């Protein structure tokens, strides 16, 4: 019996120790973290379509020569502002000057021959008048049978000869007039060609490209300079074929340009009716407000309002980004769970959730520092 009693004493002590263990475990539990939550909910957002494009000048001109010649002088550089009619490029036109001098000399020669031709016309006219008067008298005498047929025929022949001489003199005088007109036309043509040697600005603007230097050969049609009208620019955006039906001329558009820390209010001015076969997109031209900082070639984004939609949204601050991964922490049955999500557009302090969350789930916001996945949480009301 004593041995049995001794055996029972350690067993009792061991059981007593086991009976104290639950109280120690319970006392070691971490208390839940108090958190605030926001529900994942739908919001009415405007439906925005964004298209990219390039800034172009509404009016631009590629300056080229109309005649073949060497460039004598280039009076502007890229970036210079020019006024309408300002001289830009001068070509070597000495051969045209020679042609103009020859034409002037030819005109002087023709003009010097005109008085002689006028005198010849006047002399022929006097001879014709005398022959006509003589013929009239001879005809009266012939009618009275006072002269012979031979005498009458001679007076008639003299009249015809005088008429032919007069017409010939007039013809020569008319030839001089025609020759003078041709020479004057040659002079005008030479003057026009000579004017092509001085290339001027078609409108006020900015030189954006210079493709020629003095001494180079200017070829008709080859670019020399490119000028853009300053203060008149537009964004030429590429719009997907499926979206162009919702865009109309006159529609208001928000434009963001690289290099400008502001949003511009613009308006659709033109929709090119041809679709690009490679990109399956249309070109939409958007008139931009006049700003000194605008330059062609700048990259821009146009935001078109296409009605409204109801996306799932959460606060922007509830999203944690690590590289390309985005996550939030949701409270589910008193436990914090990290959830990977895909976000979309952002509007003010809200961001669109494309995947990873469903409506009604509770997202912890703000996320307490050090809150780990699986931690117990207590939602603060």
- What's the whole-number mean pLDDT along residues 15-35? 55
> pLDDT per residue over 191-206, tens digit each?
888 888 889 999 998 8
Tell me the pLDDT of the chain averaged across its residues. Answer: 86
**Is the pLDDT score of 150 beyond 60?**
yes
> pLDDT per residue over 308-337, tens digit each?
888 999 999 999 999 889 999 999 999 999
Answer yes or no: are the C-beta atoms of 291 and 262 closer than 8 Å: no
What percent of the chain is modeled with pLDDT above 70? 92
DSSP string, 180-231: HHHHHHHHHHHHHHHHTTEEE-SSSEEEEEE---TTPEE-TTSEEEEEE-TT
Pairwise CA distance, residues 93 & 47, whole Å: 62
Q: How far, CA to CA in Å, does 289 sit from each of 194, 262, 292?
A: 41, 12, 10
Which residues have a Cβ under 8 Å from the Cβ of 161 and sit 6 or more positions away? 131
- In this predicted structure, what is the pLDDT of residue 29? 64
- What's the whole-number mean pLDDT along residues 156-182? 91
Q: pTM here?
A: 0.54
Report helix angle 149-195 to 94-143, nearest 10: 160
Residue 94 — pLDDT band, cuts 50, 70, 90? Answer: confident
> pLDDT per residue over 40-59, tens digit each?
999 888 888 899 999 998 88
Domains in the chain, CATH or no CATH each: 33-44+311-379 (2.40.420.20), 50-58+231-309 (2.40.30.170), 62-91+198-227 (2.40.50.100), 94-195 (1.10.287.470)
């Amino acid at each position: 019996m004593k041995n049995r009693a001794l055996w029972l004493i350690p067993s009792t002590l061991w059981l007593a120790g086991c009976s104290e263990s639950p109280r120690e475990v319970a006392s070691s539990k971490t208390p839940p973290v108090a958190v605030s939550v926001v529900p994942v909910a739908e919001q009415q957002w405007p439906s925005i379509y964004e298209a990219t494009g390039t800034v172009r000048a509404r009016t631009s001109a590629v300056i080229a020569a109309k005649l073949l010649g060497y460039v004598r002088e280039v009076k502007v550089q890229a970036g210079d502002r020019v006024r309408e009619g300002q001289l830009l490029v001068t070509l070597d036109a000495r051969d045209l000057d020679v042609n103009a001098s020859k034409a002037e000399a030819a005109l002087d020669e023709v003009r010097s021959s005109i008085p002689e031709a006028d005198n010849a016309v006047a002399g022929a006219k006097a001879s014709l008048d005398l022959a006509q008067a003589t013929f009239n008298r001879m005809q009266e005498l012939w009618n009275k049978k006072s002269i012979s047929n031979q005498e009458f025929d001679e007076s008639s022949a003299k009249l015809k000869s005088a008429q032919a001489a007069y017409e010939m003199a007039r013809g020569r005088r008319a030839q001089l007039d025609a020759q003078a007109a041709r020479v004057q036309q040659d002079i005008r043509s030479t003057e026009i060609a000579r004017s092509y040697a001085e290339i001027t600005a078609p409108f006020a603007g900015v030189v954006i490209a210079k493709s020629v230097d003095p001494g180079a050969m200017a070829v008709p049609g080859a670019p020399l300079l490119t000028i853009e009208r300053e203060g008149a620019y537009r964004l030429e955006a590429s719009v997907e074929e499926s979206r162009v039906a919702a865009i109309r001329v006159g529609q208001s558009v928000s434009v963001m340009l690289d290099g400008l820390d502001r949003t511009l209010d613009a308006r659709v001015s033109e929709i090119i009716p041809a679709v690009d076969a490679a990109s399956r997109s249309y070109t939409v031209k958007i008139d931009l407000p006049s700003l000194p900082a605008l330059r062609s070639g700048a990259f821009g984004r146009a935001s078109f309002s296409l009605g409204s939609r109801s996306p799932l949204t959460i606060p922007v601050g509830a999203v944690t980004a690590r590289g390309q991964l985005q996550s939030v922490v949701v409270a589910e049955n008193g436990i914090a769970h990290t959830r990977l999500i895909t976000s979309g557009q952002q509007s003010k302090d809200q961001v669109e959730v494309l995947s990873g969350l469903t409506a009604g789930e509770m997202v912890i916001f703000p996320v307490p520092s050090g809150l780990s996945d699986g931690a117990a949480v207590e939602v603060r009301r």
